[in-house]
Amino acid sequence: MSKDILALQERIGYHFCDESLLVRALTHSSYANEHGVGRIASNERLEFLGDSVLSLTVCDYLYNTYPELPEGQLTVLRKNLVCQRALAEYATRIGLGAYLLLGRGEERDGRDKPKILEDAFEALLGAWYLDSGSLSRVRDFVLPFVKEELQKLSNAVLPLEDYKTLLQQYVQQMPGEELRYETIKETGPDNAKTFTVRVLINSNDFGTGTGSSKKEAEQRAAAEALKRYLPR
């Protein structure tokens, strides 16, 4: 484990003064439970701390980078930058799964599970913060991931099925706003129809989309609407 710990520290560009903090950040509850509760601490408490460290880092960055954005839009961006999918991707980029201490039940596929990777990444940040005593050190590590993810959102290069979800999250932050989709055109034979859908927010047309199914057309309409909300 000592060699693994050294390799991970080289990979993230930080060497822990107290390596036991790093080991704890890598220890899943399944491993701790198998080795006796109380004898080995899992990463759950560090995950709790790391979640707050990450949230503050991202909120601070968004607040200062986009002074013109309203609270609702900032909230939506933050949610998408620190969601399970995003954090699992951050963890994968540093190969974090390979260093985890897992119980026998999780060894088969646990190193690739988004939930486990998400928790471990947050725990790593919590351990780093405690060891360094500096939020700025953690911030320097996290922000490159955040900026790249933000660029993806800004360029609307999400999986097609994610656009409606992201737009819905935005609208939910604005009390009184109503989101709906309306089919405005159907063309072609029954076995090869093309649908055109528009997305309406409080009866205002925010974009249209075309697809071989209503679902696909709605996703494309949502993608068009998001261009009005996400920072460019």
Domains of the chain: 2-154 (1.10.1520.10), 160-226 (3.30.160.20)
pLDDT at 93 over 80: yes
pLDDT at 1 over 70: no
Q: One of 51, 106, 119, 149 is an active-site residue; which one?
A: 51
- What's residue 184's pLDDT? 96
Mean pLDDT of all residues belonging to the chain: 89
Sort 1 into a burial class: Cβ within 10 Å, 0-12 / 13-18 / 19+: exposed
202 vs 145: CA distance, rounded Å: 35
Our separate counts of H helices and E strands in the chain read: 10, 3
Active site residue 131: no
Average pLDDT over residues 90-108: 93
For the beta carbon of residue 92, count every other beta carbon within 10 angstroms: 15
pLDDT in tens, 27-44: 999 999 888 766 789 999
Q: One of 47, 89, 119, 122 is an active-site residue; which one?
A: 122
pLDDT in tens, 203-219: 889 899 999 999 999 99
Active site residue 122: yes
- What's residue 115's pLDDT? 96
pLDDT at 46 over 70: yes
Confidence class for position 134, pLDDT limits 50, 70, 90: very high
- What's residue 4's pLDDT? 82
pLDDT at 230 over 90: no
Helix H or strand E encompassing 22: helix 19-25
pLDDT at 132 over 70: yes
Average pLDDT over residues 200-205: 88
145 vs 88: CA distance, rounded Å: 11
- What's residue 65's pLDDT? 92
pLDDT in tens, 140-188: 999 999 999 988 776 655 566 678 888 887 787 667 888 999 999 999 9
189 vs 212: CA distance, rounded Å: 11
